[in-house]
Amino acid sequence: MNILIFGPPGSGKSTHSRTIVERYGLTYISSGDMIRAEISAGTELGREMARYIERGDLIPDTVVNTLIISRLRRHRRNFIIDGYPRTAEQVLALENYLYDHGLSIDVALEIFISKEESIERISGRRICPRCGAVYHLKYRPPKVPGKCDVCGADLIQRDDDRPEIVARRYDLYIKNMEPIIKFYRKQGVYVRVDGHDSIEGVWERIRPLLDYISARESPSRERP
């Protein structure tokens, strides 16, 4: 089963991707994780990508395509790609790769939330720079304001979590995803799920679809 999962900032796609990976045994490929790894490593490419992110701009297609396709070459089947493709050029690169290797996408799953919801979810996030613990001022506040429950370090707000940057990222997402959604809708694999609910509530909208696809591909494999 090969899945694309996407959604506006704060839609929960990464959270649900982890559940999908565990339940269906897929390889998780995240453009965001790969980009952050480059930035954390302090490479020249990472520093260049960080400048785009700080402005709320998209990283050039050639860079992102190279990261994703190189990972797909190592894991050709049964994958979920989180946050890619994001532009028409990225769709072309991905579809060309899939066609060349006799592969296809089973479902392009969008978890959709409003702009207001996106800003609230993302701008309230705080991260511990020492141990990596994640908090939210509304949904998961630290016991002591501004301090990590785990190690006591001062919490920070990432530059790309600021409200004005989140709003810009949301607008870019809507603009760039419109032709991509049209493409996958025409392919008959696009599904939109309402993300305005609890994690459990959204998952119960996603699970039946993926169970059906998984059972269709492996009729003898049972799911709990």
Query: Using CA atoms, how far apart are residues 131 and 6, in angstroms rounded to an integer?
Result: 27
Is 86 tagged catalytic?
yes
Choose the catalytic residue: 51, 77, 138, 169.
169
Task: Name the residue with tokens 């402005």.
Answer: 55
CB-based burial, 64-75: b 16+ in 10 Å, e otherwise: bbebbeebbeee
Is 130 tagged catalytic?
no
Is 125 tagged catalytic?
yes
Query: How many H-runs (helices) and E-runs (strands) does the chain carry?
Result: 8, 7
DSSP string over 175-219:
HHHHHHHHHHHHHT-EEEEE--S-HHHHHHHHHHHHHHHHHHH-T
Choose the catalytic residue: 71, 121, 125, 186.
125
Give the residue among 210, 222, 219 at the shortest CA–CA distance from 20: 210
The three-state secondary structure class of 4 is: strand
Choose the catalytic residue: 23, 36, 76, 158.
158
CA distances in angstroms from 96 to 91, 99, 103, 150, listed in the order given: 8, 5, 10, 46
Strands 107-112 vs 3-6: parallel, antiparallel or unpaired: parallel
Is 223 tagged catalytic?
no
Query: Using CA atoms, how far apart are residues 91 and 98, in angstroms rounded to an integer?
Result: 10
Is 207 tagged catalytic?
no
Query: Using CA atoms, how far apart are residues 92 and 185, in angstroms rounded to an integer?
Result: 15
**Residues recognised as catalytic:** 13, 86, 125, 158, 169
